[in-house]
Amino acid sequence: MRPVERKVYAGTIGAGAGLTISNFALWVADQIWWPADNTEIPLPVAGVIELLVTTGCAFLFGWLAKHDPGYVMIDEPPLPDE
C-alpha cells in the first residue's frame, strides 16, 4: 500500500473547514442581501455559495501543503562490456 501524500490530507481538512466557513458565508450573505426577517437565502444560491467556498478551501489547503517527493525508482545504467 502506498503512503498518502500530505496534499490529500490537507485537501480533505480544507473541505471540512470549507463547510464551516461556508456556513459563516451564508450567514453574512443573509445579513447583507436578505436583511428582512421573513426571507431566507434561496436554495440554489445557498448551494452555489457552499460549493464555491468548500471547493475553494479544499483547493487552497491542498495547494499550500508541501509536496512529498515520494519514492522514485531509477534504473541503474547497464555496465559497459569489458
The model's pLDDT over 18-53, given as tens digits with 9 standing for 90+, comes to 999 999 999 999 888 888 777 788 899 999 999 999
Q: Would you place residue 72 in the very low, low, confident or very high pLDDT band (cuts 50, 70, 90)?
A: low
pLDDT at 11 exceeding the cut of 70: yes
Q: Would you place residue 82 in the very low, low, confident or very high pLDDT band (cuts 50, 70, 90)?
A: low
Q: Would you place residue 68 in the very low, low, confident or very high pLDDT band (cuts 50, 70, 90)?
A: confident
User: Residues 21, 53: contact at Cβ < 8 Å?
Assistant: yes
User: Residues 68, 18: contact at Cβ < 8 Å?
Assistant: no
d(CA 5, CA 10): 9
| pTM of the predicted protein model | 0.72
